[in-house]
Amino acid sequence: MKPQSCNGSINVAQPQLSRRGFLAGTASIALGMGALRAAPARAAEEDVVVLGWTSYITPEIVAIMKKAGVNVRGVPAATDQDMFTKVKAGGAGSYDIVFANCGFSPTYYKAGLIEALDIKEIPGWDQLWPVFREDTSFPYVVEPNKLMLFPNMWDTEGLIWNVEQFKPSEPFSWNALWDAKLPAGKVIMRDGPEDFLAISGLSLGVPRNEIYSMTGDKLQAAAQHLAKLKPFQIAPSDEVLMDALRTGKAFIGETSSLALAARLNRAAGKEVVKAVIPEEGSLGWIDGPMVVKGAKNRKGALKFIEVWNSPEIQTYLYATYGFPQCSKTATERTLAQGGDGAQQLLDRGADKPNAVQKLLFQGPPANPSEWTQAYVEVVGG
């Protein structure tokens, strides 16, 4: 889930499995500052102290870990920004594992807070789809099989439209949002201001690997281009997005997951919407655990990752959250079982995950305060 915005104003409510925080939160990452909270005391040396979203340190997960011989002490956090701040404050003395979205991994790594892991140290490493452990264009892949983050789950956003109300020209592009044939106010966006600016940059031809380093004139151009979409709708939930597209309140927009199109179409019994990854690529994420550099219980941290990649945890994660998995073994197991679970994976293209190579992985801008200022001043608060 994502932070919610309405009509260009910021709502900083943070759901549990938050994939993004609003821009202002990322400023503490860039500065290495913020409200540094006291680090937790270890209950025992054999504990594996895990900093993560509450969704990843549930009683069910802790119980599975305990059964496998891993004593987990979970420390909850709401956002990537919150976790970075805590690790920077406590570091190896307080945490063994920290979860992140992969776009944030380089921030940790450059700050010397995590290690790049030879994943062959983890039994079952080869269960991962090769693309997730070998593609050095991914921000967490230092070299094939040497990773800042052990890939867990992923998803992709995309361009979505009502097929009865509007048909963008091919090849499909984010520029369709700015099509002159669209009536005013018929564009709907799902995520947050930084995502809108990123999409605007992609539509202007900024390469994916340069989006989050946009600054100066290039950033201003993206903000001014985005302002031309006004008035655009901002959906506070996937349900609101789908209802707007289904009813024609919105004709086209950005979806938080390609799978929403298939879900809506099945409910309607016909094709109502279509969703694609545009030719410029799209936003997306891969998440997973990282080993804190100098972790007191590194052996336990590696065992935690091994168990995390096990059938019991992977089955729980998919049944509970429904996101595609980076484990080829887990994906094929779900597909073989058939039913709704398998169909949902197919809806997301999880059987052919090379689509992730078209993604801009969401992470902090190089200059968060400049992004915030550009959005507020040009697009409006």
Nearest to 12 by CA among 2, 20, 1, 22: 22
Judged against a pLDDT cut of 50, whether residue 350 lies above it is answered with yes
Report percent pLDDT > 90 for the chain. Answer: 84
Looking at the structure, tell me whether residues 242 and 371 fall in a common domain: yes
pTM score, whole prediction: 0.87
Looking at the structure, tell me whether residues 272 and 174 fall in a common domain: yes
Q: Residue 41: its pLDDT value, please?
A: 54
Looking at the structure, tell me whether residues 82 and 173 fall in a common domain: no
Q: Residue 70: its pLDDT value, please?
A: 98
Q: Residue 380: its pLDDT value, please?
A: 83
CATH code assigned at 271: 3.40.190.10
Q: Residue 191: its pLDDT value, please?
A: 87
Q: Residue range 201-209: average pLDDT?
A: 97
Q: Residue range 114-121: average pLDDT?
A: 97
**pLDDT tens by residue, 293-342:** 999 999 999 999 999 999 999 999 999 999 999 999 999 999 999 999 99
Per the structure, the complete domain to which residue 255 belongs is given by: 156-283+366-379
Q: Is residue 11 part of a domain?
A: no
Work out how many domains the chain is built from and give that number: 2
* Residue that has been written with the tokens 């340069």 in this structure: 210
Q: Residue 184: its pLDDT value, please?
A: 96
Judged against a pLDDT cut of 70, whether residue 6 lies above it is answered with no
Asked if 233 contacts 253 with a C-beta cutoff of 8 angstroms, the reply is: yes
Q: Residue 354: its pLDDT value, please?
A: 87
Q: Residue 26: its pLDDT value, please?
A: 38
**pLDDT tens by residue, 37-70:** 444 555 556 899 999 999 999 999 999 999 999 9
Looking at the structure, tell me whether residues 113 and 173 fall in a common domain: no
**pLDDT tens by residue, 165-188:** 999 999 999 999 999 999 999 999
Helix (H) or strand (E) holding 345, with range, is helix 339-347
Q: Alpha-carbon Rg of the chain, whole angstroms?
A: 20
Q: Is residue 250 part of a domain?
A: yes
Looking at the structure, tell me whether residues 168 and 142 fall in a common domain: no
Q: Residue 35: its pLDDT value, please?
A: 38
Report percent pLDDT > 70 for the chain. Answer: 88
Looking at the structure, tell me whether residues 273 and 263 fall in a common domain: yes
Q: Predicted confidence band at 137 (pLDDT cuts at 50, 70, 90)?
A: very high
AA letter at 379: V
Asked if 8 contacts 381 with a C-beta cutoff of 8 angstroms, the reply is: yes
Asked if 229 contacts 187 with a C-beta cutoff of 8 angstroms, the reply is: yes
Looking at the structure, tell me whether residues 274 and 289 fall in a common domain: no
Q: Residue 43: its pLDDT value, please?
A: 55
Q: Is residue 3 part of a domain?
A: no
Looking at the structure, tell me whether residues 205 and 264 fall in a common domain: yes
Looking at the structure, tell me whether residues 137 and 232 fall in a common domain: no
Q: Residue 90: its pLDDT value, please?
A: 86
**pLDDT tens by residue, 138-151:** 999 999 999 999 99
Judged against a pLDDT cut of 50, whether residue 24 lies above it is answered with no
Q: How many CB atoms lie within 10 A of CB 221?
A: 17
Q: Residue 19: its pLDDT value, please?
A: 44
Q: Residue range 215-238: average pLDDT?
A: 97
